[in-house]
Amino acid sequence: MDSKFEKLNHRSNGKLLLTGEYVVLDGAVSLAVPTTYGQSLTITPISDSKLIWESLDYQGKLWFESSFTIDEFTSISLKPNNHIFNTLLKILKAAKQLNPSFLIEQHGFKVVTKLDFPNNWGLGTSSTLINNISRWANIDSYKLLALSFGGSGYDIACANHNSAITYQLQTSPTHNLIQPNQKKRTVIPVNFDPSFSEHLYFVHLNKKQNSRDGIAHYNANKSGLSTEISEISDITSKIIGCTSLQDFNGLIETHEHIIGSIIKQVPVKNQLFKDFDGAVKSLGAWGGDFVLVSSEEHPKSYFGAKGFNTIISYNDMILKQ
């Protein structure tokens, strides 16, 4: 069979940012981990010159579908009140911009995406889609991210790594006249497998937080962060080498205090879980998605009593080599 008519499959890992939320944008060395949950993309050639798109949730149920002719998709207009369609169209058009030979075939495709996790978990519904489409279009996934959602790119790094990583952005020399604001990206795989991982959990806060809103709030409040960025980078290094649950708790509590001071928000433990016997740390944009919980005892009864019933152990959540 001609290779261009073969079915293609791509899969990307989900992500969690354990340290450096917000300040990862400004050069902090941050710790990120890929998750066992992710998203797949299956591309099947069809005879009609159409792109038929189906998105399945983690239960295999269809939650979005659309179709359009391939030769017309670049001229299709955005649809009012159809955020999902508009987002997909924007990504595909950006992919076409980066690779003009993308989607010029005489035949068409049926594309099926499948999530391993509920849409509202915040583990990378968008980043895994962008990474999968980038592989299909044979383009740089970081460039596609920049043309679509924006952000630091740590989620793209997690999509492509099967172990924990440190992630850092550094501003390139100002003499780069072609892309004066371009930042150098450093991604380093690290061995992060804490001996106390059986005491770590991820608890979902029952709502999804918009990262772009969180970033906008951060950018509006930040100023003179060199000291804080250095402190967060130091905490990242210490957490990677940490061998004591007590020390780990102290590090994440200090991290919460620093970020809270920057974004002028109260840490989540002080807001919701003051009486919890353990440490709680926000992950990513504050106010939703998962929090990291450190506890000597399984925290199911405590969080369940407060209505937070999605509790996943560290060892079940985090992808390990």
- As a whole number of angstroms, the distance between CA 72 and CA 53 comes to 15
- Residue 175: what pLDDT? 43
Same domain for 71 and 7? Answer: yes
pLDDT in tens, 33-58: 999 999 999 999 999 999 999 999 99
- Residue 77: what pLDDT? 85
Domain harbouring 123, CATH code: 3.30.230.10
Same domain for 173 and 264? Answer: no
For residue 25 the two structure tokens come to: 């944008």
- Residue 22: what pLDDT? 93
Choosing from 129, 155, 189, the residue where a domain stops is: 189
Is residue 274 very low, low, confident or very high in pLDDT (cuts 50, 70, 90)?
A: very high
- As a whole number of angstroms, the distance between CA 233 and CA 28 comes to 5
| Cβ atoms within 10 Å of 305's Cβ, excluding its own | 9
Expressed as residue numbers, the domain containing 160 is 3-189
Same domain for 42 and 178? Answer: yes
> Strand 183-189 vs strand 165-171: parallel, antiparallel, or unpaired?
antiparallel
Same domain for 23 and 154? Answer: yes
* Phi-psi sector, 262: left (phi>0), alpha (psi -120 to 50), beta: alpha
Q: pTM to 2 decimals?
A: 0.92
Q: Do the beta carbons of residue 294 and residue 180 sit within 8 Å? A: no
Measuring CA to CA, which residue among 72, 133, 138 is closest to residue 108?
72
Determine the straight-line distance between the first and last CA of the chain, rounded to whole angstroms: 34
Same domain for 76 and 155? Answer: yes
3-state SS, 221-268, equals: HCCCCHHHHHHHHHHHHHHHCCCCHHHHHHHHHHHHHHHHHHHCCCCH
User: What average pLDDT does range 207-218 have in this prediction?
Assistant: 76
Q: Does the pLDDT value for residue 181 go beyond 60?
A: no
- Residue 130: what pLDDT? 98
User: What average pLDDT does range 11-25 have in this prediction?
Assistant: 97
Same domain for 56 and 26? Answer: yes
- Residue 124: what pLDDT? 95
Same domain for 45 and 116? Answer: yes
- As a whole number of angstroms, the distance between CA 165 and CA 146 comes to 21
For residue 200 the two structure tokens come to: 């770590």
How far are the Cα atoms of 106, 218, 230 from residue 263, in angstroms, in the given order? 51, 6, 17
User: What average pLDDT does range 211-217 have in this prediction?
Assistant: 74
Choosing from 161, 189, 217, the residue where a domain stops is: 189
Q: Do the beta carbons of residue 139 and residue 102 sit within 8 Å? A: yes
Same domain for 25 and 170? Answer: yes
pLDDT in tens, 227-253: 999 999 999 999 999 999 999 999 999
For residue 173 the two structure tokens come to: 């020399």
In the chain, % of residues over pLDDT 70? 94
Choosing from 136, 167, 189, the residue where a domain stops is: 189
- Greater confidence, 285 or 235? 235
Q: Does the pLDDT value for residue 112 go beyond 90?
A: yes
- As a whole number of angstroms, the distance between CA 274 and CA 268 comes to 9
- As a whole number of angstroms, the distance between CA 216 and CA 211 comes to 9
Tell me 138's DSSP state.
T
| Cβ atoms within 10 Å of 244's Cβ, excluding its own | 12
Same domain for 203 and 246? Answer: yes
Is residue 178 very low, low, confident or very high in pLDDT (cuts 50, 70, 90)?
A: very low
Task: Write down the mean pLDDT value for the chain.
Answer: 92
For 251-265, b/e burial (b = at least 16 CB within 10 A) is bbeebbebbbebbeb
Q: Does the pLDDT value for residue 288 go beyond 90?
A: no
User: What average pLDDT does range 279-296 have in this prediction?
Assistant: 94
Number of domains forming the structure of the chain: 2
Q: Do the beta carbons of residue 69 and residue 50 sit within 8 Å? A: yes
Same domain for 268 and 312? Answer: yes
In the chain, % of residues over pLDDT 90? 79
Lowest mean pLDDT, pick from 54-63, 130-139, 205-214, 271-280: 205-214
User: What average pLDDT does range 272-279 have in this prediction?
Assistant: 97
Same domain for 135 and 210? Answer: no
Is residue 5 very low, low, confident or very high in pLDDT (cuts 50, 70, 90)?
A: low
Same domain for 42 and 169? Answer: yes
